[in-house]
Structure 1
Amino acid sequence: MSDTMALEGHARAIAEIASATSMRHFRGQLGVEFKEDESPVTQADKNVEKEVRAYLAQHFPDHGVFGEEAGKDLGDGRHMWVIDPIDGTRSFLSGHPLFGFLLAHLIDGQTQLGVVGMPALNEVFVGITGKGATLNDQPIHVSDKTSLDRSILYVNEGDKIFHDHPVVFSRLMRAGQTRRFAYDCYPHALLAAGHVDAVVDYDLQPYDFLALCPLIEAAGGVMTDWSGNALTLTSDGAVISAATPELHAELLGLLNA
């Protein structure tokens, strides 16, 4: 078995663990706390990350781990697993089913594998660099849209974009044939599956976007920061996903006009 296939098997097993754990808490007693930045965290967030870290410690004791709740362990310095135990905690705590689980694997800082689990929807998206992308083991691919005015555009974190970049927000409100507001990972996963053509997102952390990059790129799309740079552990968290290079270029022009 190749190293990539072995990693994929472990990643799928981890997604199952995360899904089962989060669903035991979903729409139940959550034990909500708020961090210094006023972002919420639940007992489910902590338990999912604890179980994922335990699995990784058992199977990959030398690998580094970077999780939203427990921080970063560098490990061997080459391999890094990046975890968002519940992407969309505000959705989760309000009973909304569009929360996700995100897992990325990096080698020498380059993302090789990304998993987006949607526990309440029983969906698991997997993208592997150079190998393709799947949804529940079935191949997926981005759309072929090349023009923004004929595209389905999702604007994530629209309230933050409006506050920090009102001119950009105004441009976005005139873009796309169909425009939707959203949060978190699912719009990007829908883009990988060909249902959404472009996503503009903002104010993310590495554990919010690193799992999305290999998924979208393995499905044939493009994902960068707002300046067109590749996403890394040090990116600033303003990101765009696009189904085609033409859409990506048009979005970059809109954001940086």
Structure 2
Amino acid sequence: MKKLENKYLKIAHECAEASGKIIKKYFRKKVKIEIKNDNTPVTKADKEAEKKIRDIIRKKSPECGYFGEETGKYNIDNEYTWVIDPIDGTKSFITGKPLFGTLIGLMKNNRPYLGVLNQPILKERWVGIANKESRFNNVKVKTRNCKKLKGSKMYATSPMMFVGKNQKVYRNVRAKIGETLFGADCYAHGLMASGFIDVLLEANLKPYDYIASAAIVSGAGGKFTDWQGNELNLKSDGRIIAAGDAKIHNQLIKVIKKIK
């Protein structure tokens, strides 16, 4: 098992290095922007970075399935499946803000198993094995304890992502929190693993937005689930609640479940 784990970690690092070189080449440069069918932007950097990652994965781990934001999926029912977002936070990338990241996740039996969050501009990398260990630039990290919700700090990508009943959940959770911040995309997930923030609340995410982060945060001691407290998988509904402290996570799940 350890041998296989090391193999996949090595592949993930290779993917992070190779995609990082491509992303740095285009950062804060004029780059063509396209709008996809879901009304989100994509750039040449996104496409080239994911193609490079996919090529490495096909060559080094042909036994694995693949699910990527830009290049689609194959064999996702295999025991191991890579889940890739070449640039999580494309809007930040486009506007020159280095708070985006490359998310390289690996699922085992449809559960988060391994995750890498790479920020090539800042030369920062989080690596985690779910419920086991996480590291930041090869130094072990842990989430922090938080005794009271009112003293906690929460990140969400944007308040605009919460509509309908989701907006009601967001308002109720935010009312319990000490301070709410926005706009860090997956970078906030890394900050949680390193013990700098306490809560994450998201909606409308896709598997490539959360699989890697779930492994990293749980590896650091946190809880990263759907709004009902269930473990995440490829069929999760994209509504995420995470906390560095399991007690805080349990409190927030209770808050959410009371909302009609």
Aligned to 1:250: 251
Q: In angstroms, what is the RMSD of aligned CA positions?
A: 1.6
| Contact kept? 1:62, 1:76, Cα under 8 Å | no
- Are residues 54 and 251 of structure 1, via their aligned partners in 2, closer, same or farther at CA, if it must alter by over 3 Å? same
SS at match of 2:144: coil
Does structure 1 residue 219 correspond to structure 2 residue 220? yes
Map of 1:89-238 to 2, 5 A cutoff? 89-161=90-162, 165-238=166-239
- TM-score, normalised with respect to structure 1: 0.95
Bigger drift between 173-182 and 193-202 goes to: 173-182
Bigger drift between 206-215 and 167-176 goes to: 167-176
* CA offset digits 1:11-70 (Å, max 9, x no partner): 112111111111111111211000112110100010001001111122112321110001
* CA offset digits 1:128-162 (Å, max 9, x no partner): 13540000000000001132111111233311215
Bigger drift between 145-154 and 226-235 goes to: 145-154
SS at match of 1:133: strand
SS at match of 2:121: helix
Shift of 1:76: 7.7
C-alpha distance in 2 between matches for 1:213 and 1:179:
21
Letter in 2 for 1:192: A
Aligned to 1:10: 11
Could you tell me which runs of 5 or more consecutive residues in structure 1 were left unpaired when the two chains were aligned.
Answer: none
Letter in 2 for 1:145: C
Aligned to 2:36: 35
Tell me how many residue pairs correspond in the alignment: 257
SS at match of 1:145: coil
Bigger drift between 58-67 and 199-208 goes to: 58-67
Aligned to 2:25: 24
C-alpha distance in 1 between matches for 2:159 and 2:128:
27
SS at match of 2:59: helix
| Contact kept? 1:21, 1:47, Cα under 8 Å | yes
- Are residues 151 and 249 of structure 1, via their aligned partners in 2, closer, same or farther at CA, if it must alter by over 3 Å? same
Letter in 2 for 1:73: Y
- Are residues 75 and 176 of structure 1, via their aligned partners in 2, closer, same or farther at CA, if it must alter by over 3 Å? closer
Which consecutive segments of 4 or more residues in structure 1 shift more than 6 A? none
Shift of 1:245: 1.5
Could you tell me which runs of 5 or more consecutive residues in structure 2 were left unpaired when the two chains were aligned.
Answer: none
Letter in 2 for 1:138: V
SS at match of 1:77: coil
| Contact kept? 1:147, 1:246, Cα under 8 Å | no
Aligned to 2:71: 70
C-alpha distance in 1 between matches for 2:110 and 2:14:
23
- Are residues 128 and 169 of structure 1, via their aligned partners in 2, closer, same or farther at CA, if it must alter by over 3 Å? closer
| Contact kept? 2:130, 2:214, Cα under 8 Å | no
Bigger drift between 153-162 and 38-47 goes to: 153-162
| Contact kept? 2:81, 2:106, Cα under 8 Å | yes
Shift of 1:193: 0.4
Shift of 1:178: 2.4
Letter in 1 for 2:172: R
- Are residues 66 and 166 of structure 1, via their aligned partners in 2, closer, same or farther at CA, if it must alter by over 3 Å? closer
Instruction: Give the share of equivalent positions with the same residue, in percent.
Output: 35
Shift of 1:250: 1.6
C-alpha distance in 2 between matches for 1:11 and 1:100:
14
C-alpha distance in 1 between matches for 2:226 and 2:7:
30
Letter in 2 for 1:135: F
SS at match of 1:121: coil
C-alpha distance in 2 between matches for 1:251 and 1:65:
33
| Contact kept? 1:98, 1:120, Cα under 8 Å | no
Bigger drift between 122-131 and 164-173 goes to: 164-173
